[in-house]
Chains A and B, each alone.
Chain A
Amino acid sequence: MTWSVATPAVMAAFLAALVEVVEAFTIVLAVATLRGWRSAALGTIAGLAVLAGIVLLLGPLLNRIPLHSLQLAIGILLLLFGMGWLRKASLRAAGIIPLHDEDAIFAAEAAHLGQHRRRQQTNLDWMAAITALKAVLLEGLEVVFIVIAVGAGRGLLMPASLGALAACALVLAAGAILHRPLSRVPENTLKFGVGVMLSAFGVFWTGEGLGVTWPGQDLALLLFAALFLAAGLVGSALARRMSVEIAR
């Protein structure tokens, strides 16, 4: 394991988990505010248990796949996933699509649960727990994929998992202190950064899976990340210019 692969892997897992946990935390907090911490905790624990089950199921299976096939499959998935994030972050940075607003999501989720409160009182605790479970499960799936994807190819599953867990702990600590949605987290900047790293990993693994020996080996990752960062910034600048011209 070299620092040039381990550092981006741990950083990608940490930053991606930070973004996703903030999003899940907003919904869990809305559930807790409306229905108390029992339903919220129940849903969260159930969601985390399902995610842990997925990791335990997939982990041993990955060891049975030949390394080149695993690198190629994960590389392609990382390219699709990372470029999707980078594309969306570029469009958000250009003002083409709105930024993620945690306060608005909190209000919408609270209003949604409030509507159910008026309609059906009896199943509300169940409904609140399912809402929390869905939030943890759906946001957590992306984190699980990223941890497995950046960690599986080079035996970095443990450091990547620790990076993701550190992000969870950080968000929970901040949430416990503030007790409100973490709307000041610069989500789009973080998503931009994670998109850059995942796309770079995607090119790297896809190439290795196809039998390419990159010059500079692991250091090539840093060059790829710099190129994707530049492409994202160029795309964003061009998109901003286009939207201004169209508005005229």
Chain B
Amino acid sequence: MTVLKDVVAELIGMFVAEKRLTIAVLSVVTMAGCLIDFTDLDPLVGGTVVLFGCLTLLIESVCRSAKAGTS
């Protein structure tokens, strides 16, 4: 049972390293999806939102963790 519990914890940990970053990345992808599906904008605009959104979120997450002094 412990092995199974550890496997589940490992799987969750793989994709939810930091809750705030995970929620933010999912929000950016959802926003890009809405831009592509519900507006007349070029889909590339949505792709650019994903790219630069994720780059910004990465720097913000690293800086926030450094400020808090935690992982």
Contact = CB atoms under 8 A, between A and B. Distances in A.
Contacts of A90: 58, 62
B59 A231 contact: yes
Interface in B13-71: 14-18, 21-22, 25-26, 29, 32-33, 36, 43-44, 46-47, 50-51, 54-55, 57-59, 61-63, 65-67, 69-71
A68 to B, nearest CB: 12
Given A94-B66, A141-B10, A210 B33 contact: yes
B51 A83 contact: no
A79 B69 CA distance: 24
A214 interface: yes
Contact of A246 (B16, B57, B58, B69): B69
Interface string A206-247: 110011111100000000100110011011101110110010
Contacts, number: 136
A206 B57 CA distance: 16
Interface of A: 76-77, 79-81, 83-88, 90-91, 94, 96-97, 130, 133-134, 137-138, 141-142, 145, 199, 202-203, 206-207, 210-215, 224, 227-228, 231-232, 234-236, 238-240, 242-243, 246
B69 A130 contact: no
Per DSSP, chain A at the interface is helix
Contacts of A133: 3
30 contacts: A80-B16, A80-B17, A80-B26, A83-B25, A83-B57, A84-B18, A87-B21, A91-B62, A91-B65, A91-B66, A96-B66, A137-B7, A141-B10, A141-B11, A145-B14, A199-B54, A206-B32, A206-B50, A207-B46, A210-B36, A212-B46, A213-B43, A214-B44, A228-B55, A231-B55, A235-B58, A235-B62, A238-B59, A239-B66, A242-B67
Contacts of A130: 3
Contacts of A246: 67, 69
Nearest to A94: B66
A230 to B, nearest CB: 8
Given A210-B43, A228-B58, A96 B65 contact: yes
A94 B71 CA distance: 12
